[in-house]
Structure 1
Amino acid sequence: MDINFIIGENIRVLRKQLGLSQEKLAEYSHLSTNFISRLEHTNHQNISIQKLDQIAHALNTSISQLLTGDNSKNQASELPPNVNYLIKRLESMDAEKANRIAKHFSDILDEI
């Protein structure tokens, strides 16, 4: 079976298991919706390791999971996609800024 087809199918399956639209996956992976769509629906779209890594991170899985064709074990987190995205964004910031933002979120949650 064509590796591009396997990758596209695995991306589609994991995306749907997480309840993400192609638009949200594109946003979380910093790629275009058109690119995600072409990956999922054609076997003519080549993908770099860097872009595959971006998608894997957005889907909270590994590159190897996207390559194997085995979706029997979903490695995606139990947390909702928006929470995963927020955590990843906080992890990518310097500690002081992330702590400041987390405190603001905590203050908001305390008011609810």
Structure 2
Amino acid sequence: EISRRRREQKLTQEDLAELSDLSVNFISRVERTKDQNISIQKLDSIAKALNTTTPDIINNAYRAKKIKPEKIHDNNTPVFMKKVINELRKLPEPKAERVCKSLITLLKEMNN
């Protein structure tokens, strides 16, 4: 998905690396490797450089691979987590993204 968007915008890997403040090596590895863990911060940097959002990149990657996001209807997921996820789904994407970033920041602060 990242490679496709980059090419659509006629950017080289070097251009994207510079715009996202990441290394060319990292951009190359992200585009080559299908199942790589990328931090949200780095994915955010790439998304901004490509004039899109992180959720949009993720959603399009799922669609392209015909992968369905995990359902949260299993019995192992606590009810409060299901409620949070359902409320997030009701929000417009930009608001949901802001809420998620705030939650992540809060959780990191609580773990310190």
User: Structure 2 length as normaliser, TM-score?
Assistant: 0.52
Shift of residue 45, structure 1, vs aligned partner? 3.2
Q: Which residue of 2 aligns with 1:16?
A: 7
The alignment's C-alpha RMSD in Å is 1.4
Match of 1:32 among 1, 11, 23: 23
Unaligned runs of 5+ in 1: 1-9, 72-112
Q: Could you tell me how far apart the structure 2 residues matched to 1:38 and 1:44 are?
A: 11
Identity of paired residues, percent? 53
Q: Which residue of 2 aligns with 1:56?
A: 47
Q: Could you tell me how far apart the structure 2 residues matched to 1:44 and 1:67 are?
A: 12
1:11 is matched by which residue type in structure 2?
Answer: I
Unaligned runs of 5+ in 2: 65-112
Instruction: Pick 1 or 2: higher relative contact order, CA cutoff 8 A, min separation 6.
Output: 1
Which consecutive aligned stretches of 4+ in structure 1 deviate over 4 angstroms post-superposition?
none
Q: Could you tell me how far apart the structure 2 residues matched to 1:54 and 1:64 are?
A: 13
Q: How many residues align?
A: 62
1:17 is matched by which residue type in structure 2?
Answer: E
Q: Could you tell me how far apart the structure 2 residues matched to 1:52 and 1:42 are?
A: 14
Q: Which residue of 2 aligns with 1:45?
A: 36
Q: Could you tell me how far apart the structure 2 residues matched to 1:45 and 1:30 are?
A: 19
